[in-house]
Amino acid sequence: MTTLREYLDKTDCKDDLKDLIELIAIQAVPIRDAFIYNQSYAGTENSSGDKQAALDVWSDEHIVNVLLKSNLVSQIASEERDDIVKNPNAKAGYAVVMDPLDGSSLIQVNLCVGTIVGIYDNGDALSCGNQMRAAMYMLYGPMTVLTLTVGSGVYIFALKDGVYTMLEENVKMPQGKLYGSGGLKKDWIPEHEKFIDEIEKEGGKLRYSGSFVADFHQILKYGGIYCYPKTKDNATGKLRLVFEANPIGFIAAQAGGEITDGVNNLLDVKPQKPHHKTPIYVGSKNMTEKIIRICKE
């Protein structure tokens, strides 16, 4: 079976980018080991007002320290930090954006969570998503899996005994009918309500866990859409463009899908700040085209 490094060696990635991808991916081992000791909430909130689980804080500090020690990364933008961490002495100019532990509210009930990462080779963590050099997420489920793109398709690896081996190559997102939507139904705007009504009339099936990365992985495999819309009292939605939308959207696009806020392709949107929030619709094009049509109407 093809290992992660063997795959990377067949791509046009520079050696230091290969090293960085492997370095981040293997942090799934200590993060997973830390689950049992970090079950509670930390008693703090991140910049977006979300309660931080102890493992949110631990994972953030751990990955940031590993990246700084590597000297491969000049900027790090994390969902758990107010500001971008800068390393002016880095020997390589990569910028990393990350959600160290997406879905952390599910830790105490032992449901699937993950780590979302995007990598730029221009040293700017606030770049548009379409400038991303690589995107990946580690999903902590029955298996630990790594979903990765370096701009030439999407590949899925499984971790066993400290080694990632390929499970699936050149993954393509099918047209599908699964859907998951955040936000309270009573707060949905008319466009989103019409969108969900159309999906359900066409036989759509609801799949929503509260973990963005886990819900997206279902969409990647089976087709459909994940959405967290703007609401009547919150035009910006809940999820972050830099840490969540751009890496997941880059993967979706590489698999033949799409990410939009209902009007704009989110990969073309320039982040205004690290915690730039945005409505999100990401998934199969038969679904994203539907919400774009409804919003235009």
**Residues belonging to the active site:** 50, 56, 79-80, 99, 101-102, 244
Encoded amino acid at 132, one letter: M
CB 257 within 8 A of CB 249: no
d(CA 154, CA 24): 17
Please compute Rg for the chain using Cα positions.
18
Helices 15-25 and 54-70 meet at what angle, rounded to 10? Answer: 160
Q: How many residues does the chain have?
A: 297
User: What DSSP designation does 48 have?
Assistant: T
Cα distances (Å, whole numbers) of residue 154 to 18, 45, 47, 176, 285: 16, 33, 31, 18, 17
The count of other CB atoms within 10 Å of the CB of residue 65 is: 10
d(CA 194, CA 188): 10
CB 139 within 8 A of CB 145: yes
CB 114 within 8 A of CB 251: no
